[in-house]
Structure 1
Amino acid sequence: MVDALADKRTATRFRILAEIADRQPAVSQGEIADAVGVTTQAVSEYIRELTEDGLVEKEGRSRYRVTKEGVDWLLRTANDVRRYADHVTGDVLGNVHEDAAIATAAIEQGDTVSLVMRDGLLHATPGGDAAATGVATTDADEGEDVGVTGFEGIIDLQPGSVTVFQIPPVRSGGSHAVDTADLASACADADLVVAAGVEAVVSLRKSDVEPSVVFAAGDVAADAAGRGLSVTVAATADAVGRVTDPLRDAGVSYEVTDLA
């Protein structure tokens, strides 16, 4: 279990620090107490400890700010909580909810189906021979969407990876500075190609590659890699951080290569 959920005191510490960040610099301990569900005296004690630990700094009476260290701790802990929540909803509760899959053949309601991830999408096949199975909740012909519940086992899925190719900004030559043959070769084996930035889009098109996505490239790449796809991202140098941040937050394996 993540540290923030390991015990009540750590969880309360996390919530109070988040409330301070939301309300700063004028912080009402009474409002925080109401929001978190503890006494005002307890909030005062927590704030004192957070200040001593360097996560909060006091600017005056009832005026506090979360320090850089406090922000970093909040972000790390929030990411841990989010990953734990994803695990609970995806792995723990997966057997009690209904999901949709693509039928690979005709399926009738009540059939046991084998489940596999293919091209980033869940597919259901009549029969229970796979490592993961479920029960169809609807009828479906081949190629149609079918409802599935009663999940058992673990879907065999190897996490994908992401390669980010850094494209020079226009002030440094933009697409004119890119070896389009190298870029085309880099995209040839990718399951998905996305772009971030105008220079990246143009460079791909000069390489006879049309990107599938030109917005929110980092989020899309992270989601696709989490579904087992190999992703190539062409990103203008100025946009690389906006791509790698979501990848890092999602724990996705990636590498950055300079094409200039």
Structure 2
Amino acid sequence: MVDVLDNKRAATRFRILVQIAERQPAVSQGEIAEEVGVTSQAVSEYIRELVDDGLVEKEGRSRYRVTNEGVDWLFRAADDVRRFADHVTGDVLGAMSEAAYIATDDIEEGETVSLFVEDGLLHASPGEEGPATGVATTDAEAGTDVGVTSFEGVMDLEPGSVTVLQVPTVRAGGSRAIDESTVVEHCADADRVVAAGVEAVVACRQAGIDPVVTFAAGEVAADGAERGLHVTAVATTDEVGRVTDRLRDAGVSYEVLEE
């Protein structure tokens, strides 16, 4: 692990390498020094070390380029910074913030509540039996929203998945080219159904399926899977790539069914 937050020197090394990557190949040590907040001499010494370590290649006077090894190092260092930022915003600040939950029963302000996810939504119930708890900041009747803070523990949440069902384009037969029974088979047990493309929307309607959204299907499917839902995305073949790109970016599990 490349911990650029371990000390000031490591952080400065990281920032200087980023500056070189942004400015390459014509690199002004004076501009970098001003940006980073160190002397030009210090920048020169850092660059010399980066060259010695194989992270930067010197191409001529004041001309430098980040090597492949340097790019890899930047990626690893940036990941460390991101993980630390996620820890601060999620674990530290998250425990200090307030969030809205659906009350399963009547709750009083100041009461300890158990937290869980149901049907993709955050719920709170009186008591502290669950693996994740918080403290109610408002009174709430059952079925209404309640503010919660002082979070402890981690909610149990099994990740969901997405099944992508392809529908031919209109040139290839469109909704007429897919059996209604096929659509029903893959949508009946899904927690949510989304559709992308006119042919896909029509195929759903003909099968008696009402998609929750007919645009931004990939984003919604990914969000649902992250909330533990099993989603079927019915997509016209020329929309499948857009849907799977969003799923891949979100890192959720998905399967594309062949036509």
TM range (shorter): 0.7 to 0.9
Judge which range, 108-117 or 66-75, deviates more: 66-75
Q: Measured at CA, do residues 150 and 24 of structure 1 come closer, stay the same or move farther in structure 2, by a change above 3 Å?
A: same
Superposed, 1:72-221 pairs within 5 Å as 85-86=85-86, 88-221=88-221
> What are the Cα deviations for residues 229-251 of structure 1, in whole angstroms up to 9, with x where unaligned?
11111122222222222222222
Structure 2 distance, partners of 1:70, 1:166, is 42
Q: TM-score, normalised by structure 1?
A: 0.75
- Aligned twin of 1:229: 229
Rg comparison, structure with higher value: 2
Count of residue pairs brought into register by the alignment: 256
CA distance change for structure 1 residues 228 and 146 in 2, over 3 Å: closer, same or farther?
same
1:235 to 1:16, Cα distance in 2 relative to 1, 3 A = farther
Give yes or no for contact 1:4–1:14 (8 Å, CA) kept in 2.
no
Q: Is the 8 Å Cα contact of residues 26 and 62 (structure 1) preserved in structure 2?
A: yes
User: What residue in structure 2 maps to residue 243 of structure 1?
Assistant: 243
Note the C-alpha offset of 1:149. 0.8
TM-score, with normalisation over the residues of structure 2? 0.75
Q: Distance in 1 between the 2:223 and 2:64 partners?
A: 37
Are residues 68 and 53 of structure 1, via their aligned partners in 2, closer, same or farther at CA, if it must alter by over 3 Å?
closer
Deviation, 1:170, is 2.6
- Flag the 1:74–1:243 CA change in 2: closer, same or farther, 3 A: farther
Contact conserved, 1:79 with 1:249, CA < 8 A, in 2?
no
C-alpha offsets along residues 176-199 of structure 1, whole Å, 9 cap, x if unaligned? 222221111101111111122222
- Percent identical among aligned pairs is 65
2:195, 2:215 within 8 Å by CA — same for their partners in 1?
Answer: yes
Q: CA deviation at 1:13?
A: 7.4
Unaligned runs of 5+ in 2: none
Partners of 2:209 and 2:203 in 1: how far apart? Answer: 9
